[in-house]
Structure 1
Amino acid sequence: MTGSKPKELAIPFAAHESKEATEVLRAWIVDNGLHVSLQRGFDDAAVWGVLLTDIARHVSRIYETEGVGTAAEALAKIKFTLDAEWDDGTDVGTTSAIQ
Protein backbone atom coordinates (compact mmCIF):
# COMPACT_ATOMS: atom_id res chain seq x y z
CA MET A 1 0.00 0.00 0.00
CA THR A 2 2.87 2.35 -0.54
CA GLY A 3 1.69 5.78 -1.56
CA SER A 4 -1.95 5.21 -0.57
CA LYS A 5 -3.77 8.03 1.16
CA PRO A 6 -4.67 7.52 4.85
CA LYS A 7 -8.38 7.01 5.52
CA GLU A 8 -9.31 10.19 7.37
CA LEU A 9 -12.70 10.80 8.94
CA ALA A 10 -14.69 13.90 8.09
CA ILE A 11 -14.52 16.96 10.30
CA PRO A 12 -17.88 17.24 12.13
CA PHE A 13 -20.28 19.66 10.43
CA ALA A 14 -20.70 21.68 13.64
CA ALA A 15 -16.96 22.40 13.70
CA HIS A 16 -17.22 24.07 10.30
CA GLU A 17 -20.17 26.16 11.45
CA SER A 18 -18.78 27.23 14.84
CA LYS A 19 -16.71 30.36 15.49
CA GLU A 20 -14.82 28.41 18.16
CA ALA A 21 -13.76 24.87 17.28
CA THR A 22 -10.57 23.12 18.33
CA GLU A 23 -9.38 19.62 17.53
CA VAL A 24 -7.96 17.98 20.67
CA LEU A 25 -7.49 14.34 19.61
CA ARG A 26 -6.79 12.21 16.55
CA ALA A 27 -6.36 8.46 16.88
CA TRP A 28 -4.97 6.17 14.17
CA ILE A 29 -4.36 2.46 13.92
CA VAL A 30 -1.05 2.12 12.07
CA ASP A 31 0.38 -1.35 11.45
CA ASN A 32 -1.88 -2.71 14.23
CA GLY A 33 -0.69 -0.11 16.76
CA LEU A 34 -2.28 3.04 18.17
CA HIS A 35 -0.82 6.41 17.23
CA VAL A 36 -2.35 9.66 18.45
CA SER A 37 -1.96 13.37 17.97
CA LEU A 38 -3.33 15.44 20.80
CA GLN A 39 -3.09 18.64 22.69
CA ARG A 40 -3.82 19.14 26.38
CA GLY A 41 -6.84 21.25 25.47
CA PHE A 42 -8.19 21.87 28.98
CA ASP A 43 -6.82 23.41 32.18
CA ASP A 44 -8.51 20.71 34.28
CA ALA A 45 -7.48 17.12 33.47
CA ALA A 46 -10.88 15.94 34.76
CA VAL A 47 -12.46 17.26 31.56
CA TRP A 48 -10.66 14.44 29.72
CA GLY A 49 -12.64 11.97 31.83
CA VAL A 50 -15.87 13.49 30.56
CA LEU A 51 -14.58 13.60 26.97
CA LEU A 52 -13.42 9.96 26.98
CA THR A 53 -16.69 8.83 28.56
CA ASP A 54 -18.66 10.70 25.92
CA ILE A 55 -16.55 9.06 23.20
CA ALA A 56 -17.27 5.61 24.68
CA ARG A 57 -21.00 6.37 24.58
CA HIS A 58 -20.79 7.45 20.93
CA VAL A 59 -18.87 4.28 20.08
CA SER A 60 -21.45 2.10 21.84
CA ARG A 61 -24.26 3.70 19.83
CA ILE A 62 -22.39 2.94 16.58
CA TYR A 63 -22.40 -0.76 17.50
CA GLU A 64 -26.15 -0.63 18.04
CA THR A 65 -26.82 1.44 14.89
CA GLU A 66 -24.82 -1.05 12.82
CA GLY A 67 -26.66 -4.02 14.36
CA VAL A 68 -23.63 -5.51 16.09
CA GLY A 69 -25.33 -5.53 19.52
CA THR A 70 -26.99 -3.13 21.89
CA ALA A 71 -25.42 0.12 23.01
CA ALA A 72 -25.60 -1.12 26.61
CA GLU A 73 -23.70 -4.32 25.76
CA ALA A 74 -21.02 -2.42 23.86
CA LEU A 75 -20.64 0.17 26.63
CA ALA A 76 -20.32 -2.56 29.26
CA LYS A 77 -17.55 -4.24 27.22
CA ILE A 78 -15.77 -0.92 26.73
CA LYS A 79 -15.90 -0.14 30.47
CA PHE A 80 -14.82 -3.65 31.45
CA THR A 81 -11.79 -3.48 29.16
CA LEU A 82 -11.00 0.11 30.15
CA ASP A 83 -10.94 -0.91 33.81
CA ALA A 84 -8.72 -3.94 33.04
CA GLU A 85 -6.29 -1.86 30.97
CA TRP A 86 -6.26 0.84 33.65
CA ASP A 87 -5.28 -1.71 36.30
CA ASP A 88 -2.74 -3.63 34.17
CA GLY A 89 -2.06 -2.10 30.75
CA THR A 90 -0.97 -4.41 27.95
CA ASP A 91 1.03 -1.60 26.31
CA VAL A 92 1.30 1.77 28.03
CA GLY A 93 3.14 3.24 25.01
CA THR A 94 5.23 6.40 24.98
CA THR A 95 4.47 10.07 24.52
CA SER A 96 6.68 12.58 22.78
CA ALA A 97 6.26 16.06 21.40
CA ILE A 98 6.30 16.57 17.65
CA GLN A 99 7.46 19.96 16.44
Structure 2
Amino acid sequence: MTMPFDALEIPPTALDRGGVEILRAGIVEGGLHISLRRSFDDPQAWGIALADIARHVARIYAMETGAAESLTLERIRNMLDAEFDTPSDPGSTTAIS
Protein backbone atom coordinates (compact mmCIF):
# COMPACT_ATOMS: atom_id res chain seq x y z
CA MET A 1 0.00 0.00 0.00
CA THR A 2 1.42 3.37 -1.01
CA MET A 3 0.89 6.25 1.37
CA PRO A 4 0.81 9.86 0.19
CA PHE A 5 3.84 11.97 1.01
CA ASP A 6 3.27 13.44 4.44
CA ALA A 7 5.08 16.80 4.55
CA LEU A 8 6.26 18.00 7.94
CA GLU A 9 4.96 21.22 9.43
CA ILE A 10 6.88 24.45 8.93
CA PRO A 11 8.68 25.43 12.16
CA PRO A 12 6.58 28.05 14.01
CA THR A 13 9.45 30.56 14.17
CA ALA A 14 9.84 30.38 10.39
CA LEU A 15 6.14 31.20 10.02
CA ASP A 16 6.37 34.08 12.51
CA ARG A 17 9.63 35.64 11.37
CA GLY A 18 10.09 34.45 7.81
CA GLY A 19 13.24 32.86 6.53
CA VAL A 20 14.19 30.49 3.76
CA GLU A 21 13.84 26.74 3.47
CA ILE A 22 17.27 25.23 2.90
CA LEU A 23 16.59 21.48 2.88
CA ARG A 24 13.72 19.09 2.25
CA ALA A 25 14.27 15.33 2.42
CA GLY A 26 12.22 12.21 1.92
CA ILE A 27 12.78 8.46 1.78
CA VAL A 28 11.47 6.81 -1.39
CA GLU A 29 11.81 3.03 -1.76
CA GLY A 30 14.59 3.06 0.83
CA GLY A 31 16.58 5.85 -0.84
CA LEU A 32 17.14 9.44 0.22
CA HIS A 33 15.79 12.14 -2.09
CA ILE A 34 16.44 15.80 -1.30
CA SER A 35 15.91 19.31 -2.54
CA LEU A 36 18.22 21.99 -1.22
CA ARG A 37 19.51 25.48 -1.73
CA ARG A 38 23.22 26.30 -1.51
CA SER A 39 22.05 28.93 0.98
CA PHE A 40 25.39 29.97 2.48
CA ASP A 41 28.33 31.86 0.99
CA ASP A 42 30.73 29.76 3.09
CA PRO A 43 30.24 25.97 2.89
CA GLN A 44 31.48 25.66 6.49
CA ALA A 45 28.04 26.93 7.53
CA TRP A 46 26.65 23.62 6.24
CA GLY A 47 28.87 21.87 8.80
CA ILE A 48 27.18 23.87 11.55
CA ALA A 49 23.72 23.19 10.10
CA LEU A 50 24.37 19.44 9.77
CA ALA A 51 25.74 19.25 13.33
CA ASP A 52 22.63 21.11 14.58
CA ILE A 53 20.42 18.67 12.68
CA ALA A 54 22.26 15.71 14.26
CA ARG A 55 21.71 17.18 17.74
CA HIS A 56 17.99 17.58 17.02
CA VAL A 57 17.83 13.96 15.82
CA ALA A 58 19.52 12.80 19.03
CA ARG A 59 17.01 14.76 21.12
CA ILE A 60 14.06 13.27 19.24
CA TYR A 61 15.43 9.74 19.79
CA ALA A 62 15.83 10.55 23.49
CA MET A 63 12.26 11.87 23.76
CA GLU A 64 10.65 9.07 21.74
CA THR A 65 12.73 6.02 22.70
CA GLY A 66 14.58 6.97 25.88
CA ALA A 67 17.95 6.51 24.14
CA ALA A 68 20.77 8.61 25.57
CA GLU A 69 21.38 11.73 23.46
CA SER A 70 25.14 11.32 23.76
CA LEU A 71 25.06 7.70 22.54
CA THR A 72 22.74 8.55 19.66
CA LEU A 73 24.95 11.47 18.63
CA GLU A 74 28.02 9.23 18.82
CA ARG A 75 26.34 6.63 16.57
CA ILE A 76 25.36 9.35 14.08
CA ARG A 77 28.92 10.74 14.04
CA ASN A 78 30.44 7.27 13.57
CA MET A 79 28.19 6.50 10.62
CA LEU A 80 28.74 9.95 9.13
CA ASP A 81 32.51 9.38 9.23
CA ALA A 82 32.07 5.91 7.68
CA GLU A 83 29.85 7.31 4.91
CA PHE A 84 32.38 10.05 4.12
CA ASP A 85 35.15 7.42 3.93
CA THR A 86 33.18 4.81 1.94
CA PRO A 87 29.80 5.98 0.62
CA SER A 88 27.14 3.27 0.50
CA ASP A 89 25.46 5.25 -2.30
CA PRO A 90 27.08 8.43 -3.63
CA GLY A 91 23.84 9.30 -5.42
CA SER A 92 23.61 11.98 -8.07
CA THR A 93 22.88 15.69 -8.06
CA THR A 94 20.94 17.69 -10.59
CA ALA A 95 20.47 21.44 -10.44
CA ILE A 96 16.90 22.52 -11.10
CA SER A 97 16.11 26.16 -11.66
TM-score norm. by structure 1 comes to 0.92
Shift of 1:80: 0.3
Distance in structure 2 (CA, Å) of the matches to 1:50 and 1:88: 22
1:43 to 34, 41, 44: 41
Per mean C-alpha deviation after superposition, the further-off stretch among 50-59 and 4-13 is 4-13
Q: Which runs of 5+ in 1 are unaligned?
A: none
RMSD value, Cα: 1.2
Distance in structure 1 (CA, Å) of the matches to 2:36 and 2:68: 30
3-state SS, counterpart of residue 59 of structure 2: helix
Instruction: Name the structure 1 match of 2:95.
Output: 97
Instruction: Name the structure 2 match of 1:85.
Output: 83
- The one-letter amino acid of 2:80's match is L
Instruction: Name the structure 2 match of 1:9.
Output: 8
Instruction: Name the structure 2 match of 1:57.
Output: 55
Deviant stretches of 4+, over 4 Å: none
Shift of 1:67: 2.3
Shift of 1:88: 0.7
Identity of aligned pairs, percent?
A: 47
3-state SS, counterpart of residue 66 of structure 1: helix
Q: Which runs of 5+ in 2 are unaligned?
A: none
